[in-house]
Amino acid sequence: MTQCAEPNLYDYWPYEDRPKIVWPEGKKLAFWIAPNIEYYEFQPPHNDKRQPWPRGNPDITGFSQRDYGNRVGHLRLMELLDRYNLRGSVSLNIALLDHHPEIIEDCVKRNWEFFSHGIYNTRYSYGMDEAQERAVLKDCIESVEKATGQRIRGYLAPALTHTENTIDLIADNDFWYSCDLFQDDQPQPLKTKTGNLVSLPYSLEVNDVITYGSLSQSPSRYADVLKRHFDQLLLEGEKSGTVMCIPLHAYLVSQPHRIRPFEEALKHITAHSDDVWFATGAEIAGYFRENYWDQAIADIDRRGLSTGGTGFTG
Amino acid sequence: MTPEYLTYEKRAYGNDHDRYDWSYSKLRAPVRPEGVADVTAFIVVPLEFFPLNPSGKPFKHPGAMVTPYPDLRHFSTRDYGNRVGIYRILEALEAEGLKAVIPMNGEVLSRCAPLVERIKAGGHEIAAHGVSTDHIHYDGLSKEEESAYIEKTLELFGAVGITPTTWMSPARNESYNTPDLLTRAGFKVCLDWEMDQVPVAMKTETGPLTCLPNHGELNDFNLMHTKRQSEDEWREQILESAAFLASEAKTTGARVFGFTLTPYISGLPFRVRALREILAGLKEKGGVEVKTASQIASAWGDTI
């Protein structure tokens, strides 16, 4: 298969001199929080492109740490977010609806939003044909609808694994936002064959997996990183509204040595409620689609930066 | 992609394995076994033998040789732990009157005989830690091969008059059969899993195996070697775990957590002050007690 040098999913759009975004009630920063609620299989099937468990099956320390997240961790995080009146937008491995419905009930009770994070975090999208990927999306939409009554509008590919079709297919299934692309701190329309799909900032670099995994930082350092990230985006939000997400994993952030330092960051962020819109993924993406979609496209056109075409079509 | 990859045979209520049942912490009545503190910490001090010529199967054990053969640098830095570092840890524990659970590779027993005697006399719990770091239990072993590893371990312990009932696998790695083979060999407690904040009874062919939450995220090797954090950051995280769990225990019931002191990591001179501060700090936290693995298992008894 020919591989493209350029995904062509969005046009280059300089941060400077963009038309202004103002969030509801004049807010400068749209803040959302995305707990990943995941199921990693004990005995996942083989995939040629990626080995699910670094140590091979079974990887009991890896598995049981994630299970700790499900048994103990999500609850700690939910109770913490309750205290700050924050609603989560759940990045959901859809099979968890079947495995652990008790966790889902607790999210529904809190009026949290769900978006799709694939079926399992141990089933990768690589190598799926279009029909297979459509079937997975149908499963995701229908399963969440059946269990919660909610129509999901967001997508983050399982374990961040994609095909060339993924972004087009979610747009075609009337999803409003994708968390799969990390090119910006503001939303941007994606170039899909159909639909109106927004690339919503997911702030991957302040994801707890990055902080605690890739960067190996301490809990107090994570709180500091989150505060600095927030302060800068709030400052820039004066000029034009920005977005900050905190993507979380209970098996990491809800460890007993990490949850209270994380609370320090929430205290700081929620103390700025005059300037911050505390929202969910679909609320931010929906507002952008309604109010700023055309403005963004017009600005890219005006600057002569529109290259035409859609994803992977050159 | 093959159609099998998109079928999900175990997509149903509960876990996708039958080692232990799914249990959402919120739905359990708070458990406070008699005589058990709000928070019980257990301290795991592994004594490991790192051969100069590891096979690396199925992966390199954390701490195993790094440079081309003969890697005398890593052989001797690991050996430092069993010669020097461990004595600093034992002294620090004794200064606070604390007992640890000390998993030993069978091959350590004859190599470090005076140390084993010292630990026995000190009243710590001696646990089995497989044959050596080059005997990792994994799915690629036949049941017979893996049984032989466990028998060999028990034989080495038997030769020095010890019958351990707590087990920690080399690299905390297991095959699908390990829990069955462990209970068949007489083990009662296992330090490989970390799925909860309380002891969990695992189902095996010959009765339950108690799993205690041994937090990988608090492991000194992980924090100070892999993640390159400072000893002060390490201390803060251990003490914060104790403090947070003590505050949580009021509503959740008693909590248990474990962390590891690796002799060639925590036993280095520049880390010992932080180690002493951790051990003293644990004692200062209200409601926190330090127990050995088998003490915890028997104190929790039927409530597990």
The interface residues of chain A toward chain B in range 20-59, judged by CB-CB distance below 8 A, are: 39, 41-43, 45, 47, 54-59
Q: Give the nearest partner residue to B215 out of A120, A255, A260, using CB atoms.
A: A255
Q: Say how many CA atoms lie within 13 Å of B268 toward its Cβ.
A: 14
- Let me know if residue B259 belongs to a domain: yes
Q: What is the mean pLDDT of residues A75-92?
A: 98
Q: Does A72 touch chain B (CB under 8 A)?
A: yes
Best mutation site among B19, B172, B237, B251 for testing chain A: the one with the most A CBs within 10 Å? B237
- Let me know if residue B83 belongs to a domain: yes
Q: Give the nearest partner residue to B14 out of A61, A99, A120, using CB atoms.
A: A99
A47 to chain B: nearest residue by CA?
A: B5
Residues A117, A106: Cα–Cα separation, whole Å: 18
- Let me know if residue B3 belongs to a domain: no
Best mutation site among A125, A142, A217, A257 for testing chain B: the one with the most B CBs within 10 Å? A257
- Let me know if residue B85 belongs to a domain: yes
Nearest 5°: CA angle at B1, between A313 and B5?
Answer: 135
A128 to chain B: nearest residue by CA?
A: B1
Whole-number percent of chain A with pLDDT over 70 = 100
Count A/B contacts: CB-CB distance under 8 Å.
147
Best mutation site among B194, B197, B248 for testing chain A: the one with the most A CBs within 10 Å? B194
Q: What is the CATH number of the domain that holds B98?
A: 3.20.20.370
Residue A78 in this model has a pLDDT that exceeds 90: yes
pLDDT along chain B (304 residues), means of 10: 96 98 97 96 98 96 97 97 98 97 98 97 98 98 98 98 98 98 98 98 97 98 97 98 96 98 98 98 88 98 92
Tokens of B164: 């351990």
Tokens of A134: 């459509």
Domain extent for B144: 30-47+59-303
The interface residues of chain A toward chain B in range 77-106, judged by CB-CB distance below 8 A, are: 95, 98-103, 106
Contacts of B260 in chain A (CB under 8 A): none
A260 to chain B: nearest residue by CA?
A: B244
Contacts of B14 in chain A (CB under 8 A): 99
Quote the CATH superfamily of domain A24-302. Answer: Glycoside hydrolase/deacetylase (3.20.20.370)
Residue length of chain A: 314
Residue A269 C-alpha, separation from nearest chain B C-alpha, in angstroms: 22
At residue A287 the predicted structure's pLDDT band, cuts being 50, 70 and 90, is very high
| Amino acid in position A199 | S
Q: Hey, where are the domains in chain A? A: 24-302
- Let me know if residue B41 belongs to a domain: yes
Residue A314 in this model has a pLDDT that exceeds 80: no
Number of domains in chain B: 1
Q: Does A64 touch chain B (CB under 8 A)?
A: yes
Residue B69 C-alpha, separation from nearest chain A C-alpha, in angstroms: 24
Q: Does A110 touch chain B (CB under 8 A)?
A: no
Residue A250 C-alpha, separation from nearest chain B C-alpha, in angstroms: 12
- Let me know if residue B271 belongs to a domain: yes
| Cα–Cα distance list, A150 to A34, A77, B155 (Å) | 17, 22, 59
Q: Do A132 and B138 touch (CB under 8 A)?
A: no
The interface residues of chain B toward chain A in range 226-255, judged by CB-CB distance below 8 A, are: 226-229, 233, 236-238, 240-241, 244-245, 248
Question: How buried is residue B36: exposed, middle or buried, by Cβ count under 10 Å (0-12/13-18/19+)?
Answer: buried
Q: Give the nearest partner residue to B195 out of A67, A100, A128, using CB atoms.
A: A67
Residue B47: partners with Cβ closer than 8 Å, 6 or more residues away = B81, B82, B86, B102, B103, B104, B105, B108, B112, B115, B129, B263
Residue B36: partners with Cβ closer than 8 Å, 6 or more residues away = B254, B299, B300
At residue A313 the predicted structure's pLDDT band, cuts being 50, 70 and 90, is confident
Contacts of B5 in chain A (CB under 8 A): 45, 47, 123
Contact A115, A281 (CB under 8 A): yes
- Number of separate helices (H) and strands (E) present in chain A: 12, 9
Q: Does B21 touch chain A (CB under 8 A)?
A: no
Global pTM value: 0.97
Q: Do B197 and A256 touch (CB under 8 A)?
A: yes
Radius of gyration of the CA atoms of chain A, in A: 19
